[in-house]
C-alpha cells in the first residue's frame, strides 16, 4: 500500500511546478495550463484523503474543483480571446492596462 503522504508529496511537487509556471511564463495560455496543474495537485490531495478516511466527500470536492476549473478555463480563455483580438498578443506582461 502506498502511504498517503506519498500522494501528498506528489501533489506538493505538482503544485510547486504549477506555481513556478504561473510566476515565470509570459504566455497566458501556459499560465492557464499551470493553473490547471495546481488544481490537479489539490485534487490529488482530496482524493488521497478521501481514500485515507474512506469517505467520498473528497470526491465531491474534487468534482466541484473540476467544475470550477472548467468555468475558469472557459471564462479565462474567453477573456484571453477578447484580449488577443484587441491587442494581438498573448503575453501576460503586456496586460498592464486596467481598461482598454
Partner 1 sequence: MGQTPSVSTTILGADEVILNMGPQHPSTHGVLRVKLKLDGEKVISSECIIGYLHRGVEKIGETRTYAQFAPYVDRTDYVAAVSNGLGYCEAVEKLLGAEAPPRARWVRTILTELQRIASHLLWLGTHALDIGAMTPVFYCFREREEILKIFEKYCGARLTTHAFRIGGLLYETYDGFEEDVKKFCHDFLSRVDEYEELLTENRIWIQRTRGVGILTADDAIAMGASGPVLRGSGVKWDIRRAFPYAAYDQFEFDIPVGENGDTYDRYLVRMQEMRQSHRIVLQAIDSIPSGPIAARIGKVLKPPPGEVYHSIEAPKGELGYYIVSDGSTQPYRLRIRPPSFVNLQVLDQMIRGLLIADVVAVIGTLDIVLGEVDR
Partner 2 sequence: MPENYVPILMFGVIAFLFPVVTLWFASLLRPDSRDVGFRRKPYECGVPPEGDARGRFGVRFYIIAILFVIFDVETIFLFPWAVQYKALGLFGLVEMLVFLGILIVGYIWLYKKGALEWV
Partner 3 sequence: MTFYEVTFYVLAVVALLSAILVITCRNPVHSAIFLVLTLLSVALIFLQLQAEFMAAVQIIVYIGGIMVLFLFVIMLVNLDVAVRQAPYNRQRWIAGFAALVLLAEFTLFIYQGRDWAKLPPAAAEAVQPNTELIGRALFQNYILPFEVASLLLLVAMVGAVLMAKQR
Contact residues: partner 2, CB under 8 A: 63, 66-67, 70-71, 73-74, 77-78, 81, 85
Other C-beta atoms lying within 10 Å of the C-beta of residue 25? 16
Residue 84 as a binder of partner 1 (CB under 8 A): the answer is: yes
C-alpha cell at 53: 478516511
Encoded one letter per residue, x for contact with partner 3 by CB under 8 A and - for no contact, window 34-73 reads: x-xx--x--xx--xx-xxxxxxxx-xx-xxx-xxxxxxxx
Nearest to 18 by CA among 4, 30, 2: 30
Residue with cell 505538482: 14
> Smallest gap, in angstroms, from Cβ of residue 77 to partner 2?
7
Amino acid at each position: 500500500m502506498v502511504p498517503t503522504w506519498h500522494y501528498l508529496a506528489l501533489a506538493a511537487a505538482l503544485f510547486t511546478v504549477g506555481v513556478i509556471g504561473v510566476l515565470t511564463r509570459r504566455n497566458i495560455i501556459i499560465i492557464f495550463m499551470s493553473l490547471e496543474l495546481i488544481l490537479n495537485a489539490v485534487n490529488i490531495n482530496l482524493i488521497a484523503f478521501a481514500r485515507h478516511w474512506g469517505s467520498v466527500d473528497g470526491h465531491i470536492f474534487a468534482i466541484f474543483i473540476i467544475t470550477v476549473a472548467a468555468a475558469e478555463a472557459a471564462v479565462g480563455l474567453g477573456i484571453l480571446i477578447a484580449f488577443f483580438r484587441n491587442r494581438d498578443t498573448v503575453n501576460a506582461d503586456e496586460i498592464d492596462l486596467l481598461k482598454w
